[in-house]
């Protein structure tokens, strides 16, 4: 039981600093097009998507990597490249494109559920919310689950609750952080997005560096 309780709190404490929902909130508000109703639905869908990705990574991630012969350091390097590229694209887009995109999204803010689901997964859920760093961490957490059938089921249930706590925090930050960013206006939001894009670029480089350092300690 102490091990399961430790796992319950270990999941959100490990994943939330990597996910960094505060840093992704400006992108969520931009995708919502300044519409509070769409923001609520989008935040909820991203939280659900994130829970599914985390659980899939914890329960089957190690088996998938073993099947293809892929190590966690390689996942970190490849994922870090993807995060850094996404951040670079955000940094190099000019303001005119951002303004036009925001205006277009605001004009079509009453989105259908299917459109919200489509927009919520890429790039908001992956790679910005549950990116390679959090997936690698979730896989590592899943590797700690006991292999005996009954303890495994109990551990998976506890991990699911921990992932649900993580998803709930993500939803609350996106939902309420988005409201705060709406009050900042379009210019303030674009400035915040530029700053967060730079932070995201640094995160991507850090993930690459961590993976590269791990690879240097592994036999070829």
Give whole-number Cα distances, 11 to 8, 50, 85, 154, in Å: 6, 13, 27, 15
* Residues whose CB falls within 8 Å of the CB of residue 85, separated by 6 or more in sequence, listed in order: 204
The label of the residue with tokens 């992704």 reads 24
What is residue 66's predicted lDDT score, i.e. its pLDDT? 80
- Residue 168, pLDDT score: 96
Q: For residues 55 and 47, give the distance between their C-alpha atoms in angstroms, rounded to a whole number.
A: 12
In the structure, what pLDDT confidence band is assigned to residue 48 with cuts at 50, 70 and 90?
very high
On whether the CB atoms of residues 36 and 177 are closer than 8 A, the answer is: no
Residue 185 above 70 pLDDT? no
DSSP state of 148: S
Share of the chain above pLDDT 70, in %: 79
pLDDT surpassing 90 at residue 46: yes
Cα–Cα distance, 81 to 162 (Å, whole number): 28
Of 199, 142, 175, 138, nearest to 47 by C-alpha is 175
**Domain residue ranges in the chain:** 2-216
End-to-end CA distance of the chain: 39
| Average pLDDT over every residue of 74-101 | 68
Tokens matching residue 22: 């505060």
Q: What is residue 2's predicted lDDT score, i.e. its pLDDT? A: 52
How confident is the model over 51-76, as pLDDT tens digits?
A: 999 999 999 987 887 888 887 788 77
From residue 38, give the alpha-carbon distance in Å to each of 84, 107, 116, 132: 28, 12, 8, 27
Lowest mean pLDDT among 49-53, 79-83, 149-153: 79-83
- Distance CA(201)–CA(91), nearest Å, equals 9
Q: Across residues 170-193, what is the average pLDDT?
A: 74
Note the pLDDT of residue 107: 39
Look at 193 and 110; give whichever has higher pLDDT. Answer: 193
Select the highest-mean-pLDDT range: 145-154, 156-165, 183-192, 195-204.
156-165
Length of the chain: 220
User: With 70 as the cut, is the pLDDT of residue 102 above it?
Assistant: no
pTM: 0.69
| Average pLDDT of the residues in 192-202 | 75
Q: Please tell me whether the peptide bond between 47 and the residue prior to it is cis, using omega within 30 degrees of 0.
A: no
Q: Is residue 176's pLDDT more than 70?
A: yes
Whether the CB-CB separation of 170 and 50 falls below 8 Å is answered with yes
At residue 4 the predicted structure's pLDDT band, cuts being 50, 70 and 90, is: low
Tokens standing for residue 23: 């840093």
Of residues 15 and 66, more confidently modeled: 15
């Amino acid at each position: 039981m102490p091990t399961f309780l430790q796992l319950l709190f270990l999941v959100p404490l490990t994943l939330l600093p990597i996910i960094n929902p505060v840093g992704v909130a400006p992108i969520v508000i931009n995708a919502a097009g300044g519409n509070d109703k769409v923001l609520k639905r989008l935040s909820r869908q991203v939280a659900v998507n994130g829970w599914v990705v985390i659980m899939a990574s914890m329960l089957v991630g190690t088996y998938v990597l073993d099947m293809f012969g892929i190590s966690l350091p390689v996942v970190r390097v490849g994922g870090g490249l993807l995060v850094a590229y996404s951040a670079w694209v955000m940094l190099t887009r000019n303001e005119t494109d951002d303004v036009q995109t925001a205006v277009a999204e605001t004009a079509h803010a009453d989105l259908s559920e299917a459109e919200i689901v489509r927009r919520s997964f890429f790039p908001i859920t992956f790679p910005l919310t549950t990116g390679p760093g959090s997936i690698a961490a979730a896989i590592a957490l899943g590797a700690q689950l006991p292999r005996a059938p009954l303890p495994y089921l109990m551990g998976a249930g506890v991990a699911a609750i921990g992932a649900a706590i993580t998803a709930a925090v993500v939803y609350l930050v996106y939902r309420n952080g988005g409201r705060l960013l709406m009050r900042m206006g379009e210019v303030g939001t674009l400035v915040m997005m530029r700053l967060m894009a730079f932070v995201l670029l640094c995160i991507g480089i850090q993930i690459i560096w961590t993976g590269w350092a791990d690879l240097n300690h592994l036999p070829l």
